[in-house]
Chain A
Amino acid sequence: MVRKGLLTFKTMPSIATTGVTAGPLEKQSPFSDQFDKIYDDERCDTKTNEHAHAKMMEDACMIALSKVDANPSDADYLLIGDLVNQMTPSNFSATTLAIPYIGMFSACATSISTTIMAALLTEMGMSKYAVAGASSQHNAVERQFRYPIEYGAQKPETAQWTVTAAGVAVVTPQKKGTPSITCATIGTAVDLGMTDPLNMGAAMAPAAADTLYRHLKGHQTKESDYDCIMTGDLGKSGFEIYKKLAGNKGIQITENFRDAGAEFYGDDPLFLAGASGAGCSASVYFSEVIGKMMKGEYQRVLLIATGALLSPLSFQQKDTIPCIAHAVELTMK
């Protein structure tokens, strides 16, 4: 069946294992005890932030593969991405891992877009082990998009903090006892004229609400069917706007609505609106959510990762920020 951007996976590929690595600052995250590896050094004992970025990704992939007793040489595809120019950290980790590689960019929605692609490859019977994921490193990303790290600019309360984390999932054909990918929705780019890169939550909220609405309508499900509907990195302020927009579309807002970015650093006012970055949704989805599914706390979840598709050049030229949100539905049977 052909439908606009709506995918249904009949073979129900599984997320067999996951691997999550994070930086030292992320120790204070309420999810930190579920991360597989936390580095003591923000540069992971490498020379540059970009090397650390690549190493985090590599380690996450190795950890995830080792959990299914596989080597990088057993993996069929590597679908990863990040936010740095031309995705060099992902490219370098792909070189080291030597798995056939497609770099993907959907900004902070990369975790879900890569998972969807991995599920598609698996559905077609062309992949046994597909590694999907995303990562971000605070210092490497902030220097791209904002001021130098040590520059003392006052950030508004809507500003978010790019996390240092990487999260990958190993997608395999249907496997008992693991969460399976049943359907997904590819988002459309939404641009409602927001221009402030320090308020990306507000820019991304309409995209998230749009994808949620399209997913529920297209797959004929109700919001109450899910144990958890988790967005990626809208942050505290963006999350409120998203709930309001979803409410306007007739969707019932319940306790099951969660946002990884808003929850990532707890209530620490130092991090303002919360976390952002490609690694934010990836690390929370592939630790907290998958963990709860394995324990049986969640039966059916909807993960919506949002991404702001801006570049430093585009916002300096006063362009608006187009945003995207991809959704994937996981069930545990």
Chain B
Amino acid sequence: MDEKKYAKLEQGMSPKTPLVRNMVFAFLTGGTICLIGQFISLFYMSFFDFTERTASNPTVATMIFIAMLLTGFGLYKKIGQFGGAGSAVPITGFSNAVVSAAIEHKSEGYVLGVGGNMFKLAGSVILFGVFSAFAVALIKTILVKLGVVSW
């Protein structure tokens, strides 16, 4: 039996990823997380002196804090298994990636363990996030200079 033949057989027999189900669940989970974020944002606007724009900072911090607690209590991985991309894409997913790595490597000490491995998963998000922001800003700057669009 060669590799191609086996790949075909394997694909025929292995359970398919339920794409539609995953998408619906991801939509619901991501939507719910954002809805909670919206309420927190509203809370900061109505009870503190934050505008819609400045309220995003404390909101993000609160969401990260909540996700950190959920990760520590072992609940976030359950949300992740249920919601897939819906729980990975919002800022809470980023928090989960950082905190889970930190918990995991605590046994190796604070400097080499927690410090050295905390951004094991999230590091690439930071790197490519910054890089793509740079690339997009560069393109926009060029377009503005050429007079195609305005700021």
Known: A154-B22, A193-B7. 16 other contacts (CB 8 A): A49-B107, A148-B103, A148-B120, A148-B121, A150-B96, A152-B76, A152-B78, A152-B93, A153-B77, A153-B80, A154-B83, A193-B6, A194-B6, A202-B10, A202-B14, A206-B1
Q: How many angstroms between the C-alpha atoms of A152 and B121 in the bound complex? A: 12
A154 touches B103 (CB 8 A): no
Q: B6 contacts which of A150, A156, A192 (Cβ < 8 Å)?
A: A192
Q: How many angstroms between the C-alpha atoms of A127 and B71 in the bound complex? A: 50
Residues of B90-147 whose CB lies within 8 A of A: 93, 96-97, 99-101, 103-104, 107, 120-121
Residues A150 and B10 in contact in the complex (CB < 8 Å), given A143-B104, A158-B15, A237-B15: no
Which residues of chain B are near A50, meaning CB under 8 Å?
Answer: 107
Residue of A143, A150, A155, A244 ringed by the most chain B CB atoms within 10 A: A150
A152 touches B77 (CB 8 A): yes
- Determine if B31 is an interface residue (Cβ-Cβ < 8 Å): no
Which residues of chain A are near B3, meaning CB under 8 Å?
Answer: 192-193
Residues of A185-205 whose CB lies within 8 A of B: 192-194, 199, 202
What size tier do the contact residues of chain B reach? 35 or more
Q: How many angstroms between the C-alpha atoms of A188 and B77 in the bound complex? A: 37
Which residues of chain A are near B13, meaning CB under 8 Å?
Answer: 202, 237, 240-241, 244
- Determine if B64 is an interface residue (Cβ-Cβ < 8 Å): no
- Determine if B58 is an interface residue (Cβ-Cβ < 8 Å): no
A151 touches B10 (CB 8 A): no
- Determine if B34 is an interface residue (Cβ-Cβ < 8 Å): no
Which residues of chain A are near B1, meaning CB under 8 Å?
Answer: 192, 206, 245
A239-273 interface bits toward B, Cβ cutoff 8 Å, 1 = contact, 0 = none? 01100110000000000000000000000000000
- Determine if A288 is an interface residue (Cβ-Cβ < 8 Å): no
What residues make up the interface of B, taking CB atoms closer than 8 Å to A? 1-3, 6-7, 9-10, 13-15, 17, 22, 71-72, 74, 76-81, 83-85, 87-88, 93, 96-97, 99-101, 103-104, 107, 120-121
What size tier do the contact residues of chain A reach? 20 to 34
What residues make up the interface of A, taking CB atoms closer than 8 Å to B? 47-50, 143, 147-158, 192-194, 199, 202, 206, 237, 240-241, 244-245
